[in-house]
């Protein structure tokens, strides 16, 4: 069994981004800029946004965080996004999710200029991804693809079971895998027999937020298991959606939580923002 080390890979991606930022500054006098909108007081969202701001600082980006109370109106959020759309120093805009219940997430995401949509959540970029065109791709699934590349895991013709069909993880993950010529099954809350699907798969990718959902008898011998789940337990510890201790011995490759896919999310956000800055006109 080989552990896929997301922490080290994320570090490597960040170092490469930092080098490219230095070049971009010297050759074109461009400093990539990221704007983050953080609405409400969810502690996990605050922690992730802080991590993003620190990562931006490390690689030499300009970044701004718009911290807003959860009493804010939808129109005020839209006005802030429009301001960022028009700001020439800003190459990437993201709205930290989840949003408070009174805000319509789909409406908010549609306002972001698709050319600055470094989270890849805008319908324009989702459509381009599905059709196999170049686009901004959601950071977590993009990070998983980077892991496959780094560990030379060939996807062509592989049976992959994606557990979870969310817009930010499961669906873009399935599109990326399909574009890489894998045979993809997406399972979700209404799937009748989850085990029937996972146990046949060469690769299982899970991101649903249910601690320990994937058990030893649900994966085949030699499977590759990618755990996108991030669940904070009452004792403060962090676990994924896979029963790691019992599943790992059966796997050829597996990602841990923490230190697996999570750090790749921020690394790929930096990479997407750099890509956007390079496309500045």
Ligand X SMILES: Nc1nc2c(c(=O)[nH]1)N[C@@H](CN(C=O)c1ccc(C(=O)N[C@@H](CCC(=O)O)C(=O)O)cc1)CN2
CB-based contacts of 6, cutoff 8 Å, min separation 6: 143, 147, 255, 256, 259, 260, 261, 262, 263, 264
165 is in an annotated binding site: yes
Footprint of ligand X on 70-109 (CB under 6 A): 94-97
Binds ligand X (CB under 6 A): choice among 33, 247, 263, 274:
263
Name which of 24 and 168 has its Cβ closer to ligand X.
168
164 is in an annotated binding site: yes
Part of the chain binding ligand X (CB under 6 A), chosen from 76-84, 183-191, 243-251, 260-268: 260-268
State yes or no: is 158 an active-site residue: no
Q: Does residue 258 touch ligand X according to CB under 6 A?
A: yes
189 is in an annotated binding site: yes
Catalytic residue from among 14, 96, 115, 171: 96
63 is in an annotated binding site: no
First-residue to last-residue Cα distance in the chain: 47
Interaction pattern, residues 216-245, with ligand X; x per rule: CB under 6 A: --------------x-------x-------
- Tell me: cis bond preceding 258? Omega within 30 of 0 counts: yes
Catalytic residue from among 5, 91, 117, 119: 119
∠ CA 176-182-185, rounded to 5°: 85
Q: Does residue 164 touch ligand X according to CB under 6 A?
A: no
Q: What is the DSSP string of 222-276?
A: TEEEEE---EE-TTS-EE-SB-HHHHGGGEEEE--SSSSHHHHHHHHHHHHHHHH
Q: Directed axis angle between helix 170-179 and helix 139-150, to 10°?
A: 40
State yes or no: is 52 an active-site residue: yes
Asked if residues 277 and 17 have their Cβ atoms less than 8 Å apart, the reply is: no
Binding site for ligand X (CB under 6 A): 47-48, 51, 94-97, 119, 139-140, 230, 238, 257-259, 262-263, 265-266
The residues annotated as belonging to the active site are 52, 96, 119
């Amino acid at each position: 069994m080989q552990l896929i080390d997301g922490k080290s890979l994320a570090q490597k991606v960040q170092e490469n981004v930092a080098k490219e930022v230095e070049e971009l500054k010297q050759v074109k006098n461009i400093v990539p800029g990221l704007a983050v909108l953080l609405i409400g007081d969810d502690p996990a969202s605050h922690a992730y946004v802080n991590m993003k701001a620190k990562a931006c600082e490390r690689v030499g980006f300009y970044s701004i965080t718009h911290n807003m109370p959860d009493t804010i109106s939808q129109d005020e959020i839209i006005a802030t996004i429009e301001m960022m759309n028009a700001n020439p120093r800003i190459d990437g805009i993201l709205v930290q999710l989840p949003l408070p219940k009174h805000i319509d997430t789909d409406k908010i995401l549609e306002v972001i200029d698709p050319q600055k949509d470094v989270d890849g959540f805008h319908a324009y970029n989702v459509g381009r991804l599905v059709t196999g065109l170049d686009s901004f791709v959601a950071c977590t699934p993009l990070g998983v693809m980077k892991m496959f590349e780094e560990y030379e895991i060939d996807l062509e013709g592989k049976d992959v079971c994606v557990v979870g069909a969310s817009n930010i993880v499961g669906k873009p993950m399935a599109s990326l895998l399909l574009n890489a010529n894998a045979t993809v099954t997406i399972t979700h809350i209404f799937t009748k027999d989850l085990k029937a699907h996972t146990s046949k798969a060469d690769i299982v990718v899970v991101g649903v937020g249910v601690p320990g959902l994937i058990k030893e008898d649900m994966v085949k011998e030699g499977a590759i298991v990618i755990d996108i789940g991030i669940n904070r337990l009452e004792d403060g510890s962090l676990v994924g959606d896979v029963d790691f201790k019992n599943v790992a011995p059966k796997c050829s490759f597996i990602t841990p939580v923490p230190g697996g896919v999570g750090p790749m999310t921020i690394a790929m956000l930096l990479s997407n923002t750099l890509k956007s800055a390079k496309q500045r006109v």
